[in-house]
Structure 1
Amino acid sequence: MTNANARNQMWEWTGFNAMAPREAERADVGPGQVEVRIRAIGICGTDLHIMSGHAEFGKPPLPLGHELAGVVERVGAGVASWRAGDRVCVDPLTACGACEACLAGNKHRCLDSGEFGLHYPGGWQRFMVVPAANLYLLPDAVGFAEATQAETLHCCLGGIDKLDVRIGDQATVVGDGPTGLYFVQLLKAAGAGKVRMIGMRDYRLRLARELGADETTNLRDPDAIPPASNAQDIVIDAAGTETSLAQSIDILKIGGRLLLFGLAGKPITVDMQTVVLKELSLLGSTNAPHVWPRVIQMLAAGQARVKPLLTHTYTFGEMDKAIAFARSQTDEAIKIIVSIDDNQEESQ
């Protein structure tokens, strides 16, 4: 257990593609709150978009980080569900808790919702105070690094639920990023028949096949043959570009379902005439608060494999190096994890 008087070390986003370390007093733990000692942090593409000004959420200086796992350190008044030493992952989404959307279990639709690490101080720090209701207990079989991916997986699983996957559905995932690789696995788990991935990086496409994809297409290959027009029951656009959207619409069958998941960052053109004439269902998806327990169960049972995606690890003191490496867009880097262990805490 860490000394309660220990100061908090953090990394803050300070401006355009800039960050700096800082030390501060630890926040008080109020009623209904829990302090978590962060043990692992996933680096997300959204972190990079925020730092470069392409995603307007919070303002610097701000510790980012919303893919988090750790250990309960202190518990506030009125919290009976947690105790010091519990291993947890963190749901970064918070809301008012009293509006119609919140009371229906859809806090992501609350007009006052926000996220730690996007709008509010996040997990780029050793100690973080969050509402007790934002924690989920980790089974012993799930490591801290794996648990950081529960946040991403829960978003993906919420999208899969909306698609109403039917046994044998022909499905294509467009985009070979981490979410695309998770979608391949989740489509298979949901009963889809042949699952394809369209991407641009051979390493990731090979991994997609290892994770269950039946076919892959590299758009950089001049001899590549993408799925035919009017062939797919389901397409998931995990890339979020005008090109990926146009291709997704083209390969869907009449009456097909399209999940829009990748964020374009700017308005893009949609071929509405084809959408209408093919009677396509276009579904948007972000958070899905109700699926967190299922994600934890899937991780524990090995139904969602995340370890193959965790390609690089840095220490907390190397956070700036981790971000620089992520920004370099090295093809081999899929998911970068910043790990904090007890030895680091004693030495830094």
Structure 2
Amino acid sequence: MQKKVWQWTGLNEVTSTTAERGQPGTGEAEIRIVSIGICGTDLHIMSGHAGFGVPPLPLGHELAGVVERIGPGVDGWQPGDRVCIDPLIGCGVCRECLAGSKHRCAQSGEIGLHYPGGWQEYLVAPAANLYRLPDAVSFEEATQAETLHCCLGGIDKLDIRLGCHAAVIGDGPTGLYYVQLLKAAGASKVTLFGMRDGRLELGRRLGADVTVNLRSPDAAAAEPEAAETQDIAIDAAGNEASLKLCIDLLKRGGQLLLFGLPGHPILADIQAVVLKELTLSGSTNAPQVWPRVLELMASGSVQVKPLLSQRYPFEELDLAIAFARNEPDEAVKIIVSHS
């Protein structure tokens, strides 16, 4: 049996091809992919800036679909079940995996980053990586559970007190999710800093109390006024300027969550961190929060649909990639779906 596949084949190149459908082995299930989110990480991999992944490889790690077949030893799943997929796979036997922290496993890798991903009609994945979709969550929305789970893992590392003030630097999808999560967790005032008016307006609709366009002439006046006013700052941009802004904004004793990835070493004012007694936390994956993510989505506590900005059929995945690369201001989150 054949399946259609889009493969990353070289520098910023994707190619449509066909391949044999794999038979699910012990503990595995075959998923018919329904919807895929296009992530900035996909673009970084294709441009050669990520430092991992080797072409030819079907990318795609924001995935939702339907169980098609199950392999031996799989309990609790049957064909037709609606699922999203945790792309992270650990070795399963090391101390970190056994403690539920497979993201810290030295041998871990991800579907769509290190292993074949969802840019194909069917994908074989470990059944342990599947999560059942609530009826209220669509396939398109479910693609965002992967991104949202990373953000929720970061939130769990913060001590968020009711009535606190928080700043989010970065108006990409993760910044917009962090705005919502901070409000849901009890922050009374959330300020979103970004560089795109459309994204900042969306941030206001999703709960940001104040927005600041860092490209605006008014931003220079707003930053000193906001200095040392925030209990929490989240760097969802990951560059030297965003890190400096976070440190400047935080009160003494404040908390700084580092989430955005610079891709290379950057300078930080460690003296300010020490003298202000700031708490720094880094955050990536968080395997333990997946069930809570789906509850947040199903209850409407976090809205995903407003971020879904463009939709493409699977046959035009190459056009979706091109749009994401060429129109970054317009592309908040692009969804590719099978008909």
Calculate the TM-score normalised by the size of structure 1: 0.95
1:255 is matched with 253
- Aligned-residue sequence identity (percent) comes to 67
Aligned partner of 2:234 in structure 1 is: 236
Aligned-residue offset at 1:237: 0.3
Which of 185, 202, 209 is matched with 1:190 structurally? 185
Q: Supply the AA of the counterpart residue of 1:24.
A: A
Q: Deviations over 1:87-133 (max 9, x none)?
A: 00000000011111111110000111100000111100000000000
Aligned residue pairs, count? 336
Q: Which amino acid aligns with 2:182?
A: L
AA in 2 matched with 1:47: D
2:45 aligned partner: 50
Cα distance in structure 2, aligned partners of 1:27 and 1:295: 30
Query: 1:190-210 deviations in whole A, cap 9, x for unaligned?
Result: 001100000000001011010
CA-CA distance at 1:330 after TM superposition: 3.7
Residue number in structure 2 paired with 1:88 = 83
- The structural deviation recorded for 1:42 is 0.1
Could you list the per-position Cα deviations for residues 14-58 of structure 1 after superposition, in whole angstroms to 9, with x for gaps in the alignment? 111011011010112101000000000000000000000110111
| Residue identity opposite 2:95 in structure 1 | E
Q: Which residue of structure 2 lines up, in the alignment, with residue 218 of structure 1?
A: 213
Return the alpha-carbon distance in structure 1 between the equivalents of residues 258 and 211 of structure 2.
20
- Quote how far apart the aligned CAs of 1:230 are: 1.1
Q: Provide the residue aligned with 1:308 in structure 2.
A: 306
- Any idea what the Cα deviations from partners look like across 1:135-180, whole Å, max 9, x if unmatched? 0000111100000000000000000000121111110000000000
Cα distance in 2 for residues equivalent to 1:23 and 1:39:
17
Letter paired with 1:155: C
Residue of structure 1 aligned with 2:322, choices 315, 321, 324: 324
Residue matched to 1:344: none
What is the aligned partner in structure 2 of residue 245 from structure 1? 243
Give the superposition deviation at 1:329.
Answer: 3.1
Which letter maps to 2:84? C
| Alpha-carbon offset, residue 69 of structure 1 | 0.0
Residue 13 of structure 1: which of 8, 28, 40 is its match? 8
Q: Gapped runs of 5+ residues in structure 2?
A: none
TM-score, normalised to structure 2, is 0.98
Q: Is 1:265 matched up with 2:260? A: no
Give, as a single letter, the amino acid of the residue that structure 1 aligns with 2:238.
G
Quote the residue 2:147 is aligned against: 152
| Local SS of the residue matching 2:207 | coil
Give 3-state SS (helix, strand or coil) of 2:231's partner: strand
Structure 1: which 4+ aligned runs deviate by more than 6 Å? Answer: none
1:112 aligns with 2:107: yes
Alignment of 1:63-74 (within 5 A): 63-74=58-69
Distance 1:241 1:80 in 2: 45
1:105 partner letter: G
Partners of 1:26 and 1:335 in 2: CA distance: 29
Give the letter for the 2:292 counterpart.
R
Q: Which amino acid aligns with 1:196?
A: T
Q: Distance in 1 between matches of 2:87 and 2:34?
A: 15
Are 2:137 and 1:142 aligned? Answer: yes
- Deviation, 1:9, is 0.8
SS in 2 for 1:204: helix
1:253 Cα deviation from its structure 2 partner: 0.6
Q: Deviations over 1:69-101 (max 9, x none)?
A: 000000000111110000000000000111111
| Cα distance in 1 for residues equivalent to 2:96 and 2:173 | 29
* Deviation readout 1:288-341 (Å, 9 max, x if unpaired): 000000001111111110000001000000000000000013422200000112
Return the letter of the residue paired with 1:175: G
